[in-house]
Structure 1
Amino acid sequence: MTEKLEIHYTPKHGSWLNMAEIELSILARQCLSDRFPSREALAAQVDAWQRERNQAKVTINWRFTTADARIKLKRLYPSIEQ
């Protein structure tokens, strides 16, 4: 059973789905602007891009703070009156 178990890092701040969308957007802009002659060429390009980002230890700089969220998403998160 443990062979099927995969543990993935989930960020403490921010949504993991947002992080995935950001990474896919960066991949598309930096790596996928050209046409590739084969699936293998595409895989090699993506692997090289991924290795470079991992070696550089690139992180996401979150600019949407909790205070911003409370203002922007006020209608979704009603406050408790005391």
Structure 2
Amino acid sequence: PAVIKLGYDPIWFGIMIGITIMIGVIIPPVAICVFVVKNITGVPFGTIYRGVLPFLLSLFACALLLFLFPGIATFLPDMIMGS
């Protein structure tokens, strides 16, 4: 309800929250996924981040596109629901 009162679309907001959480588990200070991979495999952080970088950049690009053009996230639900 607070999101709707602020004027944001709840579908867009949920997608943005999901993307920012995915970014958060990859980059420090949280970096849960990176710490798990390092402890299981013993691979250095630098090597892990070189492998993760393309995915991280694509997540940032998606977040930027959704921030600039929120209609990307709401187009299909609006078309299906007829609103």
Q: Normalising to structure 1: TM-score of the pair?
A: 0.31
Which one has more relative contact order, counting CA pairs under 8 Å at least 6 apart?
2
More helix by share: 2
